[in-house]
Chains A and B, each alone.
Chain A
Amino acid sequence: MAAGQLFDGEPVIEFSSDRDRRTFLKWAGIIGVGSTLTVLLRSGYVAAQTEDDDIDILNYVLTLEYLEADFYERGLGADRLSGRDLALVEPIGAHERAHVSLITSTVEKLGGTPVEQPSFNYPSGTFGSRDKFLQAAYTFEALGVTAYHGQVTNFQNGELLAAAATIAGTESRHAAILADLTGQNPFPRPLEKQASRNQVLQTAGKFIRG
Chain B
Amino acid sequence: MDRRSFVKGTLVAVPGAVVLQSAPAWAQSPGYGSDIDILNYALVAEYFLSEFYRRGKVQMSGKGARYIQSIGDDEDGHIAAITQTIQNLGGSPVQAPGLDYGKALTSQSTFLEFALRFENLFARAYLGAAPAIQNKEILQAAAGIYGVEERHAAIVAQLLGREPEGGVYVGAVNEPTDKATVLKAIEPYLKGAKAATSGAAVTL
Contacts and interface: CB of A to CB of B under 8 A. Distances in A.
Contact of A186 (B67, B123, B145): B67
Contacts, number: 146
A186 B155 contact: yes
A165 interface: yes
Given A88-B164, A91-B169, A162-B176, A190 B26 contact: no
A41 interface: no
Contacts of B158: 88, 177, 180
B200 interface: no
A159 B26 contact: yes
Given A169-B146, A194-B144, A186 B130 contact: no
Interface residues of B, number: 48
Nearest to A99: B172
| Most chain A CB inside 10 Å of its own CB: which residue of B67, B141, B146 | B146
Given A153-B139, A169-B174, A185 B169 contact: no
B18 interface: no
A203 B81 CA distance: 30
Contacts of B26: 156-159, 161
Interface in B152-185: 152-155, 158, 164-165, 168-176
B89 interface: no
Given A170-B150, A173-B154, A175-B151, A162 B127 contact: yes
A167 B77 CA distance: 24
Contacts of A95: 169, 171-172
Contacts of B130: 161-162, 165
A17 interface: no
Interface string A60-103: 00000000000000000000000000011011101100110010
Contacts of A176: 150-152, 154-155
Chain A CB count within 10 A is highest, among B11, B73, B169, B175, for B169
A162 B27 CA distance: 11
B147 A172 contact: yes
A48 interface: no
A22 to B, nearest CB: 29
Interface residues of A, number: 44
B78 interface: yes
A10 interface: no
Nearest to A158: B26
Contacts of B155: 176-177, 180, 186-187
Nearest to A94: B172
Interface in A85-126: 87-88, 90-92, 94-95, 98-99, 102
Contact of B164 (A91, A98, A169, A187): A91
Interface string A22-48: 000000000000000000000000000
7 contacts: A175-B151, A176-B150, A185-B70, A187-B73, A190-B11, A190-B74, A191-B145
The 7 residue pairs across chains A and B that have the minimum distance between CB atoms: A158-B26, A191-B144, A190-B77, A98-B172, A192-B147, A176-B151, A173-B154
Interface of B: 11-12, 24-27, 29, 67, 70-71, 73-74, 77-78, 81, 123, 127, 130-131, 136-137, 139-141, 143-148, 150-155, 158, 164-165, 168-176
Interface of A: 87-88, 90-92, 94-95, 98-99, 102, 145, 149, 152-153, 156-159, 161-163, 165-177, 180, 185-187, 189-194
